[in-house]
Amino acid sequence: MADEAAAKARRKARSARRHARLAAVQALYQIDLVKTDVSQAIDEIVSRERQDPRFDQEYFAALVRGASEKIAYLDALVGDTLSDDWPMDRLSVTMRALLRAAAFELETQDDVPSRVVISEYVDVARGFFDAAETGFANGVLDRLARQLRPQEWAGEGE
């Protein structure tokens, strides 16, 4: 009985973080496209999502604030994984937002395995993009994860 309750709590937490990741991509999109203030973007989404029990408000705000504060660093980090003919500024606003959020999470959230981060953001990508662009996001995130967390990929073909 206790194991079942713990499993249910873990599923609920995963769902809440999944929802927070999607909302973070939406907020970063808004910040990039219309230059919305970070706090305003967070407040707008929090007010919209406040009643949803699947929404981890704190995780969402941490992702948006963190990615926004480190945007130049994250863009350089992601940009290093891209080919010379596809720099960050050539990507769609949505793809940039997604890669920034994921890069921030890979860089700072050591409690979340890199494979989970990749999987979660690839799922977010499926909501916005076709298979080719989703595959592109997967490839970029895989290269980034291997660069940022080599210890998690040790022993695998690189």
- Alpha-carbon span 116 to 139, nearest angstrom: 14
What are 74-94's pLDDT values in tens digits?
999 999 999 888 889 999 999
Residue 156 included in any domain: no
What are 51-67's pLDDT values in tens digits?
776 789 999 999 999 99
Residue 88's CATH number = 1.10.940.10
Residue 45 included in any domain: yes
Mean pLDDT, the chain, whole residue set: 91
What are 25-49's pLDDT values in tens digits?
999 999 999 999 999 999 999 998 8
Domain that holds residue 94: 2-151
pLDDT number for residue 158? 46
Domain count along the chain = 1
**Given phi > 0 = left and psi -120 to 50 = alpha, else beta, which region is 35?**
left
- Alpha-carbon span 59 to 146, nearest angstrom: 23
Residue 157 included in any domain: no
Residue 141 included in any domain: yes
Neighbours of 19 (CB within 10 A): 19
Residue 56 included in any domain: yes
